[in-house]
Amino acid sequence: MSAETSKPAINRRVASLSPSATLAITAKAKQLKNQGVDVVNFAGGEPDFDTPQPFKDAAIRALKEGMTRYTPTTGLPQLKEAIAEKLKRDNQLEYKPEQIVVTVGAKHAVFNAIQVLVDEGDEVIVPAPYWLSYPEMVKMAGGRNVFVTTSEEQRFKITPELLKRAISPASKVLILNSPSNPTGVVYSKEELTELTRIAVDHGIFVVSDEIYEKLIYGNTKHYAVAALEPRFKDSVITVNGLSKAYAMTGWRLGYFAAPLEIAKAASSLQDHQTSNVTSFAQPAAVEALRNGEGEAAKLREIFSNRRDLIISELRRIPQVRFVEPDGAFYVFVNITKSGLNSMEFSQRILEEVHIALIPGSPFGAEGYVRISFATSEREIVKGTERMRSWLKK
Ligand SMILES: Cc1ncc(COP(=O)(O)O)c(C=O)c1O
């Protein structure tokens, strides 16, 4: 309360946001590391690589050429063209530049898509486990989260039956995220088609977060939801970005492609919010999107090897079980046999054997922890060995 007015200082919606439950773990891990403790970091949410040099060079060139001023709010024309080319090349999707909005990371793209679509009281269907920012974004828009709990037996996927049961007259948006953070599961073409059909038939928009599209392993394929049936394009907002595929997390480059009305509304919103993404970062995105497939493939291969390694190492730990991930860089591990809840497990494994990982509860799934394999093979072996002997005790 402010003393003079006795009104709450904090806006109601902001006050409703949950503080990040993972922050304590991450801060503690950093503190231990600074003290010289050998912490194994299984908590990372980003590739552990530097941005490839050609992308950096494009930004350096742009700076030298004086590209230091405002650009159009929704992005430079050449970047929007490069995104349109990417959507056509990789996803068989045709978008006009005015349907594309460049955002400050994919996080901003999801946030603005939700702001544009969701009104006070609208319901947003969020399959759980979920990326922990979705529910907070829905709250910020005044919407209501309708969580649909999926099971390990269903590979953490929302089924058509579960979706149908969650739909009400207030349903406005369904969030899909394949490949998924935190589970690494990837929906098949048939699964995505059926779910999207149900949503579209009920007049529900789909926000499809495809940020992990390029981190996909074995014979698994990624399908852009909007491309599955021609009519889907009128109801699907495709979110993507450069962070994960091109090791560019710090650059803050994301985008979405949407029906024109939605893109226009998002453009007005962004006019009064962030305006454009950093001017000289945009040519780096053009370079990555046009010429970065070799770099993206290298990254994918490294992650694929790490995935195989962590799976075989975790299989040697009888106290845990998990669904093998087909994409992203996470394994969502069932820890119920330990008798600890996910927060206790995460705190104790950090304190006792110095492994940082993220509890499942903030992802809407108690009884699990998220292990990231965005770390070296040496660390993967070291960390899983430590975990094995710790759990034995
Ligand atoms: C599922 C998901 N969507 C979006 C993002 C945000 O990505 P960006 O760094 O481009 O904002 C993340 C990052 O962790 C994510 O896991």
List of E strands, 27-74 = 40-41
* Ligand 1 center–CA 310 separation, angstroms: 22
Pocket test for ligand 1, best of 244, 248, 251, 330 (most atoms within 8 A of CB): 244
Other Cβ atoms less than 10 A from the Cβ of 66: the count is 9
Per-residue model confidence (pLDDT) at position 20: 74
pLDDT of residue 203: 98
The closest alpha carbon to 179, from 152, 132, 213, belongs to 213
320 lines ligand 1 (CB under 6 A): no
Q: Identify the pLDDT of residue 22.
A: 72
Rounded CA-CA distance 244/185 in Å is 16
* pLDDT tens track for 27-44: 888 899 999 999 999 998
Model pTM?
Answer: 0.96
Check if 372 has its Cβ closer than 6 Å to any atom of ligand 1.
no
Each domain of the chain, given as residue ranges in start order, spans: 12-50+294-388, 69-290
44 lines ligand 1 (CB under 6 A): no
Whether 283 lines ligand 1, by a CB cut-off of 6 Å, is: no
Q: State residue 82's pLDDT score.
A: 98
CA dist., res. 310 & res. 289, Å (int): 30
pLDDT for the residue 18? 83
The two tokens of residue 208 are 């499809």
Write out the CATH class of domain 12-50+294-388: alpha beta
Question: Which atom of ligand 1 is nearest to 177's Cα?
Answer: 1
Architecture in CATH for domain 69-290: 3-Layer(aba) Sandwich (3.40)
- CA-based torsion, 228, 229, 233, 234: positive or negative: negative
The confidence score (pLDDT) of residue 2 equals 53
Q: pLDDT (tens digit, 9 = 90+) per residue, 90-110?
A: 999 999 999 999 999 999 999
The three-state secondary structure class of 258 is: coil
The answer, yes or no, to whether any atom of ligand 1 lies below 6 A from the CB of 22, is no
- Model pLDDT, residue 251: 98
What is the per-residue pLDDT for 393? 84
Share of the chain above pLDDT 70, in %: 98
- CA-CA distance, 61 to 155, in Å (whole number)? 46
**C-alpha 106 to ligand 1 mean position (Å):** 5
Summarised one tens digit per residue, pLDDT across range 360-386 is 999 999 999 999 999 999 999 999 999
Low-confidence ranges of the chain (pLDDT < 70): 1-5, 21
C-alpha torsion sign, points 185, 190, 192, 194: negative
Say yes or no: do domains 12-50+294-388 and 69-290 share a fold. Answer: no
How far is it, in rounded angstroms, from Cα 192 to Cα 176? 9
Q: For ligand 1, what atom is nearest to the CA of residue 254?
A: 10
For residue 44, count other CB atoms closer than 10 A to its CB: 18
Nearest residue to 243 via CA among 379, 77, 45: 45
Residue 96 in tokens: 């006009």
Q: Verify whether ligand 1 is closer than 6 Å to residue 263 (CB atom).
A: no
Contacts of 104 (CB under 8 A, 6+ apart): 252, 253, 254, 274, 277
